[in-house]
Amino acid sequence: MNSLLTEKITAAKAAGRLGLIPFLPGGYPDKAGFWDVLAALDAGGADIIEIGMPFSDPVADGPVVEAASLQALEQGVNLAWILSGLAANRARLSAGIVLMGYYNPVLQYGLERFAEDAAKAGVNGLILADLPFEEAGEIRALLAARNIDLIPLVGLNTSRERMKLYAGNARGFVYFVSVLGTTGERTSLPDEVRQGLALARECFDIPLALGFGIKSPEQLKELSGLIDAAVFGSSLIRHLDAGGDAAGFMARWAK
Amino acid sequence: MKKGYFGDFGGQFVPELLMPPLLELETVLNEVVRTDDFRARLAGELRDYVGRPSALTRCPTLSERTGVDIWLKREDLNHSGSHKINNTIGQGLLTKMIGKKVLMAETGAGQHGVATATAAARFGLSCVVFMGALDVERQSHNVHRMKLLGAEVVAVESGTRTLKDAINAALRYWIAEQRSAHYCFGTAAGPHPFPELVHEFQAVISREARAQFLERAGRLPHAVVACVGGGSNAIGMFHEFLPDRGVRLIGVEAGGSGEPGCFNSAPLNLGAPGVLHGMHTQLLQTKEGQILPSHSIAPGLDYPGVGPEHSALQASGRAEYGLVNDAQALAAFQALTLSEGILPALESCHALAWVLENAAALKGQSVIVCLSGRGDKDLDIVEQNLG
Ligand SMILES: Cc1ncc(COP(=O)(O)O)c(C=O)c1O
C-alpha cells in the first residue's frame, strides 16, 4: 500500500521545495482553538502535521515543548480527546497527520484499540520517541495492518548497522534528529549533521526529514539536497506564544 | 526470554539516541565488569575504602520484646552512610577503566548523589548530579556534601521537581554528553542493562549476609527483609537467597500517610504495569498513562516506579511486597534507636517496621533486615515529626 506521508513529501519535492512539517501538542494553546490552528497550518502549506500526545515525563523534549505539553495536560487533553477531535476535523485538513508522543499513554489506551481508533480518525503515521526498534515490533504490526506508518527516528550517533535495521521495514519518512540533544531551537546545527544525513540517505529509500532545533528557513539553505522535509515545533510554539498566528508562521516557510 | 527482560518486565524504552550508549554499556558489563581483573579491583575498593564486609548485628532487646530473632545487615556502616556506595564505587571504577571523564547521576534524597560524588572524587572524575528542586530544598545537608566533594548539583525545575524529574533531566543530559559521560544510575531500575549492572554491584549485601548468618546461626534465616524505593538494596539483599526456596524474600514499599488514596511510593502494591524511564514495570499512574506524583516520609523511597526485576519477582511469587506507612516507619526509628543504639535511615525503617508490625506471625523465626543507611541525613524530618 502507498504511504500518504511519502507522497506528500515527494509532491513537495517535485514542486521544488522542502516538505513542511509543523508540530503542535494536542490542545495547545487551548482546547477550544486547537483545530482551527491546525486548519490554518494546513491552509498555510503544511504537508504533514504532527500532533503531540502530551505525556507527564517527556524525556526527549526540551523546555519549550515540555511546558506546552504540560499546559495541555492541565487542560485535560488526553488521547481520547485528540482522536475524537481529529475524527471530527479530519475533513478540514489535507495534510498528512502524524501523532507524536511517548509509549505509556498509548500502551494504557490499549495498542489494538489505539491502532483502530487512529485509523478511524485518519492518522497516517506515528512517532513514539521512547520506542526504539527493539521494542516496536508489536505496535508496528498493528499499525501496518491499517496503513499507518511507524516513523523511525535516527540521529548523529546512529550507526550504519542500526540505520539498516530501521530501514528494513521503514515506511513514510525518516525523522533525522539534528542534534545529540532534546527538542528546542539551536542557532546553528553541528557539522556532523551533513555526514549523518548522507549516511541516512544511503541507508533509507524513503524521504528524509530533519527535526529538533530548527529555527528558520535560512538555517536550512546550506542543507539543500540533503533533506526532503523539515519539522519545526519549538519555534512554532514560541511564535504562537508571542501572539503570532499560524498563517504568519507558515508564510515564512512556504515562500 | 527477551534480552534485557525479567519475565514481562524490563526492556529498553528510550529514544534511539540513547541506544548506542546503552549497547556500549551492555558490552562493558559483559567484557569489563564480569572479568576477574575488575572483580579483584572492586573487591579491594570495597574492603579498603568502603569498609566491607559490613557487620551483621543481632538485636537482642528487640528480639526479646517481639519474639522474633532480628538481625541487621549494616549497610549504614559503609563509607558515606548507605548501600548506595557499593554501586557507585562499582560504576565509578568502570567509568575510570573505560576512559570516560564524567560521572553523572540523578538523586532524590541525595544519598545516591553523595555516593556518586564520593566515587567521582575517589577516581578523579568530574561529577554532575541532577536533583529535583524540591529535593534540593528538603535535603540541603546532602547538597552541601555533594558540593564539598566537588560535584555540580543541578536543580531540576520541571514536572513535580522530585526524583522522577531528576531522572528525566539526567537522561536528557546523557543524550547530549554520552561521549564523555557515564550515567551512574542510582538504583536497580531504568533501561537494560542498568537493572543488571546495579544488581551485580549490590549482590555483595546478600553474599556477605548469607555467609555471616550461616556461620553465626548454623542455618539460613526464615526471611530477609528490605525496603524498596527503586529496589537496589532489596535486590542486593535478595540475590544470594534466590535459590534458597525456604527463605522468604520480603520487600517493603512506602505507603505514605496511609489513608486510602493518599500519595504513596508503592507501585508494586498500588500501581499498574506501564513504561517509564526506559523500563516496563509497575508504576503509579493514571488510567491514561500519566505518571502520578509519589510520596514517602523517607525521601529515598519517593519514586513512582520500581526496578523491573521486582515486578517480575512479584509476578512469579518468589518475593512478597509489604506496605508500611510514615507513622509506622517513625515508630520503628524510635524502637531501634532506643533499644539498640542505632539511628537508621527512614528508608530502612520501613523494612524494620514491617517486621515489627508482623511480629506475631513471625514469632520464633529469624529475619535479616537490610539496614540500608544511617539516619543522620533524616534528623530534620524526624525532629519535625517527633518533636
Ligand atoms: C538509605 C536508603 N535506603 C534505601 C533507599 C532506596 O533505594 P533502593 O530501593 O534502590 O535501595 C535509598 C535511596 O535513596 C536510601 O538512601
Q: Nearest-CA neighbor of B175 among A127, A213, A55?
A: A213
Atom of ligand 1 nearest to the CA of B109: 14
Where residue B102 falls (left for φ over 0; alpha for ψ -120 to 50; beta otherwise) is beta
Atom of ligand 1 nearest to the CA of B76: 1
In testing the pocket of ligand 1, which one of B205, B301, B371 has its CB within 8 Å of the most ligand atoms? B301
10-residue averages of pLDDT along chain B (387 residues):
92 97 97 97 98 98 98 98 98 97 95 97 98 91 96 94 93 94 98 98 98 98 98 98 98 97 97 98 98 95 97 98 98 98 98 98 98 94 89
Q: Which residues contact B318 (CB under 8 A, 6 or more apart)?
A: B242, B249
Size of interface A-B (CB pairs under 8 A): 107
Q: What ipTM score was computed for the predicted complex, to two decimals?
A: 0.95
Where residue B82 falls (left for φ over 0; alpha for ψ -120 to 50; beta otherwise) is beta
Collect the ranges in chain A with pLDDT lower than 50.
Answer: none
Residues of A in contact with B274 (CB under 8 A): 104, 107-108
Check pocket membership of B54 for ligand 1, CB cut-off 6 A. no
- Asked if B107 and B137 touch (Cβ cutoff 8 Å), the reply is no
For residue B53, whether the previous peptide bond is cis, meaning omega lies within 30 degrees of 0, is yes
Check pocket membership of B301 for ligand 1, CB cut-off 6 A. yes
Q: Which residues contact B348 (CB under 8 A, 6 or more apart)?
A: B75, B76, B227, B369, B370, B371, B372, B373
Interface test with B, best of A70, A135, A166, A199 (most B CBs within 10 A): A135
Residue with cell 557515564: B182
What pTM, to 2 d.p., does this model score? 0.96
Of the candidates A55, A59, A162, the beta carbon closest to that of B290 is on A55
Q: Nearest-CA neighbor of B111 among B135, B93, B137?
A: B135
Q: Nearest-CA neighbor of B18 among A19, A157, A174, A99?
A: A157
Give me Rg for the CA atoms of chain A.
17
Residue with cell 548523589: B113
Question: Which of helix, strand or coil describes residue A23?
Answer: strand
In testing the pocket of ligand 1, which one of B106, B111, B206 has its CB within 8 Å of the most ligand atoms? B111
Check pocket membership of B227 for ligand 1, CB cut-off 6 A. yes
Contact B290 A131 (CB under 8 A): no
Q: Which residues contact B326 (CB under 8 A, 6 or more apart)?
A: B254, B255, B256, B257, B258, B296, B297, B385
Residues of B in contact with A106 (CB under 8 A): 289
Check pocket membership of B113 for ligand 1, CB cut-off 6 A. no
